[in-house]
Amino acid sequence: MRIYIQTFSIIGLFLLASCKSDTEKNMEKTNEVQQQKVHTGDTVMTAVGELILAAPYATESVAKQNTLVDWPENTLPTAPEGFTVTKYADGFDNPRWSYFGPNGDLFVSEASTGKSSGKISVLRDKNNDGKFEVRETFLDDLNQPFGMLIIDNFFYVANTDGLYKYPYKTNQTSLKDVKGEKIVSLPAGGYNNHWTRNIITNAAQDKIYISVGSASNVSEHGMEEEIRRANILVVNLDGSDEKIYASGLRNPVGMDWNPVNGELWSAINERDELGDELVPDYATSVKEGGFYGWPYAYFGQIEDPRLEGKAPEMVAKSIIPDVPLGPHTASLGFTFYDAKAFPEKYRNGAFVGQHGSWNRSILSGYKVVFIPFENGAPKQPEDFLTGFIADKNGTDVYGRPVAVTVTPQGDLLVNDDSGNALWKVSYKRK
């Protein structure tokens, strides 16, 4: 039974009010002005066990941005015993996402929230030794490119404003002189880093699934601004017959297919400004036609107090996600591991790249976690690649993991967009 009380939460004033960001000002409105309803918390049963959730506003909403610092000499990210970590490539400009083509070429999209290069680089390992010998600019002058696909003789890239299709031939290292066609217009930009548009195809390669994040934290600009957002869309290869595959997903980014049962899975960024411990980001199977709560509810039928009573019919049908991944972790990357180079426990499990928090008094995320799966069902997640936080109680970090991608050799490639590097995690068999 929930016990509701009335409370005010007051954030202390900053000395230089004129230097406050829009995010900080919005948080002050939440904490200083609005009278909020706070309950004693909730317990929900997820696919990996019981989850005890904190009450909204149990702590103040804090903006704590990270500070990037250099790795100390002879220091690398830390992986479990038996694994080695090496820097695969560097010198990028925000390498946000990676994709391996059918011929083994590695495509890296370089983009960021602000002004960025807006390009895709291609790296080629000609002799299949796990090291690249060719590195070229594949496409440039793009509008915040992110997800990439090769299907038949076409290269697809999802810019923030649309899905583009280019004629492509195997082993091409540049499409800079090739004209692309915009086959789907998408709502551009979004709240914080919700400009990313990821894409994957199905086993039959006759559909493309497009992730589109919300334009706001919790629809503060009105739901008319959220049309075709906070969804996973699905279209034909020519962009026709668009449908909403699933909705109520605040910011879906990484997507992959469960290799055991064929379910679509995604990593989701949940909402901000409810305190340090709310709301956990998550990975979940995505049901066709499913509604996952945003903006009205989270983790099933738990109403967001900022939207209480606004849409009870939507709250009632909100699906509980499968695997909570911690609050404010910015869980972005997601891939199943179906290779054989890692020990058996990793087979058919999933890796998640956590970009790291900004809305928490103690940093969270900034690592790669692994979700074991058994017979297609998830278990409790565990840390896999750590060491990116330099000062847990401060703001210093060495990097921010994003994409996680399995290489043709069965290694795990991790994009660090802040550190402008790609890390490779390999297993040393005895």
Residue pLDDT, tens place only, 262-284: 999 999 999 999 999 999 999 99
Task: Give the global pTM.
Answer: 0.91
- Give the list of residues 6+ apart from residue 382 with CB closer than 8 angstroms, or none: 369, 370, 372
- Residue 325, judged by CB atoms within 10 A of its CB (0-12, 13-18, 19+), counts as buried
Q: What is the pLDDT of residue 384?
A: 99
Q: What is the pLDDT of residue 6?
A: 30
How far apart are the C-alpha atoms of 232 and 249, rounded to whole Å? Answer: 8
Tell me if 110 sits within 8 A of 117, measured CB to CB: yes
More confident residue, 30 or 112: 112
Least-confidence region, from 31-35, 58-62, 196-200, 336-340: 31-35
Q: From start to end of 321-420, where are the E strands?
A: 323-327, 331-336, 350-354, 367-371, 373-374, 377-378, 382-385, 396-397, 401-406, 412-416
Q: pLDDT (tens digit, 9 = 90+) per residue, 69-119?
A: 999 999 999 999 999 999 999 999 999 999 999 999 999 999 998 777 899
Q: What is the pLDDT of residue 101?
A: 98
Q: What is the pLDDT of residue 430?
A: 62
Q: What is the pLDDT of residue 115?
A: 73
Tell me if 409 sits within 8 A of 88, measured CB to CB: no
Mean pLDDT (whole number) for 125-142: 94
More confident residue, 131 or 427: 427
More confident residue, 165 or 5: 165
How far apart are the C-alpha atoms of 361 and 275, rounded to whole Å? Answer: 9
Q: What is the Rg, in whole angstroms, of the alpha carbon atoms belonging to the chain?
A: 21
Q: What is the pLDDT of residue 26?
A: 55
Tell me if 228 sits within 8 A of 176, measured CB to CB: no
- Alpha helices by DSSP H, listed for 255-355, are 312-316
Q: What architecture is domain 5-427?
A: 6 Propeller (2.120)
How far apart are the C-alpha atoms of 398 and 396, rounded to whole Å? Answer: 7
Mean pLDDT (whole number) for 326-335: 98
What is 138-155 written as a DSSP string? Answer: EE-S-SS---EEEETTEE
How far apart are the C-alpha atoms of 77 and 420, rounded to whole Å? Answer: 14
Which residue carries 């921010």 as its tokens? Answer: 400
Mean pLDDT (whole number) for 386-408: 97
Q: What is the pLDDT of residue 128?
A: 87
